[in-house]
Structure 1
């Protein structure tokens, strides 16, 4: 089977899907819609993947680019002659494919496309509905996405739901290789880990604000910030103004090879995201045996039972996050048991190797449409 994999950019998620597809007997072509300023994945594509040259993939997409991209995409389809196109997010690459009239179309929701983008305005609502109604099948990573897709006209029997999952062999409990000591922190401090991009949707500013207030109550708190993004200036300003810079470490963009050590060096994982389907970083934390404090949104509620694998706090409310952080710090004796439950949950429901083959159920539905 000839599969054209068409994504917005090139991310860690794309690498995982393409690497898994490369191990199959299928011929895979990769098409990239945009090339953002920030590098989202440093690993090269597997050599088995054919990178398709076309008009896109050189910069961020603009509305005025659509006619040229559409013509180029039609030429790609004619030349590559795919049996199926696997594409997402919905309102970007999947919409372009829908405009070509190609069938069968396997649309992949990236979470934010249905939870955030679909609500932007009436035009985005129409694009969402248009694309889904022309999709042979939709792949989503949680029940929240499934319900949203149905509300935009997607047939329930044409939706395949599975958590994309974590590599539970790579992300597992273990030694941090001395990382915590390298950071200058001992066992007497309590380390919070954030791995989310510094963009408004992920609430890292809320997390920083909560940490500042929590650290005033509990001086032993420390914050380990990974990543970066558009809120860089504001985050540094908040930390410097509050005088807690000595309690914060900025690690930047960490490679997938090194990332497990950072989970193991922390005492708890924290995410203040405003919107998520199934968060891969949350699953990585759970797989590493790290309890989590996460925002009380539908996607997170599918994974975290308060007091079992972690705690939930009111989204957009730093004060309730402060309370959750202080509580976790004051009840460290509970974390070992919670970590074991977190790991078990990841093994049972969040295993990438076991979940990925469900993508072929979607292929079967689409090809038999």
Structure 2
């Protein structure tokens, strides 16, 4: 049994899964939270085996100015907890603090956006990325694009462990009988947070165009975020609000039924490694129409389990929605293929143990 300090930016469904799985595998797990952001995405309690570490962080958003105070507190935590290993991410936040503390072994975990977007922001972010990777004994990434970028920023390829995080295939599964009757509204589903990075405004504008040509079109929008007023105004100005279901922030227990009830999953995200939301849709047998970005291309073969549209092009998205809605029988076959793909490549129970390969690599390299 190892003493593992799991240091993450916030507390999300992904953190809950990793922490719960580590505890179930018999490790002594300590959870350190860097900040508390405005919108909570996870409210499930952690298993009692996971010890939540109290320190100066974890209660509000943080900035670069907080660095010295956080670093001093982290060093105290490391002395008190005495972990065998620290797993930390994103790279320029939690993992950077561990790298600055000098602790080894460090398993850095990329969250996708830290390498795809943040690393290229400016010279400071590039320095933080390289500094952290140079002091990481292993890196965990969820996609090929993340692996390539990590190597570009100086991580030795042999120290990168790549695996899609995957989903719980028992919970995210197709409905027993999916209705495909022509008289039923054609239902689109958006599950991403209402933040600029996820391009939900692209979905909103595409829906307005498609809805004008297809009376039976409906959009279910989960989540919330800083663009709420902006998005609602797009729908209000177009007069389509009554055709949209704003379901808000739904629990993890409720989430599968939304995928199961949808005809087509939409994501217009401008940046993703391996999108867990996409994998959830595929596991539920829901075909996907997503932005043409590297992370999505690793999963979507156009015409097999879904389609790609040019990133940011709401007119192309609208046309693709109409094309998909014109052939529900084809969507049913694509849904079966989507589930098969999830079973082959996105099984959390099969993929998670790859994390221990990264641990072994880090322990050997320290």
Do they superpose with TM above 0.5?
A: yes
Show the counterpart of 1:222. 218
Show the counterpart of 1:313. 309
SS in 2 for 1:277: coil
Cα displacement (A) at 1:175: 4.9
SS in 2 for 1:55: coil
Deviation string 1:131-157 (CA, Å, 9 cap, x unpaired) is: 011100000000010000001000000
Q: Structure 2: any 5+ residue segments left out of the alignment?
A: none
The answer as to whether partners of 1:176 and 1:261 remain within 8 angstroms in 2 is no
Q: Distance in 1 between matches of 2:184 and 2:252?
A: 28
SS in 1 for 2:353: helix
Show the counterpart of 1:157. 158
Q: Structure 1: any 5+ residue segments left out of the alignment?
A: none
Over 3 Å counting, the alpha-carbon distance change for 1:12 and 1:187 in structure 2 is: farther
1:251 aligns with 2:252: no
Deviation string 1:65-91 (CA, Å, 9 cap, x unpaired) is: 111111110010011001100000000
Q: Distance in 2 between matches of 1:262 and 1:321?
A: 21
Deviation string 1:87-132 (CA, Å, 9 cap, x unpaired) is: 0000000000000000010000000000111111111011001101
Show the counterpart of 1:360. 356
Deviation string 1:274-323 (CA, Å, 9 cap, x unpaired) is: 00000000000000000000000000000000000000000011011011
Structure 1 residue ranges, 4+ long, deviating more than 4 angstroms after superposition: none
Q: Distance in 2 between matches of 1:36 and 1:30?
A: 17
1:236 aligns with 2:237: no
1:143 aligns with 2:144: yes
| TM-score, normalised via structure 1 length | 0.97
Cα displacement (A) at 1:58: 1.2
Q: Distance in 1 between matches of 2:182 and 2:199?
A: 28
The answer as to whether partners of 1:176 and 1:262 remain within 8 angstroms in 2 is no
1:21 aligns with 2:17: no
Deviation string 1:323-357 (CA, Å, 9 cap, x unpaired) is: 11010011212011100000000000000011000
| TM-score, normalised via structure 2 length | 0.97
SS in 2 for 1:147: helix
SS in 2 for 1:86: strand
The number of residue pairs the alignment matches comes to 363
SS in 2 for 1:31: strand
Aligned residues: CA RMSD: 1.4
Q: Distance in 1 between matches of 2:298 and 2:97?
A: 32
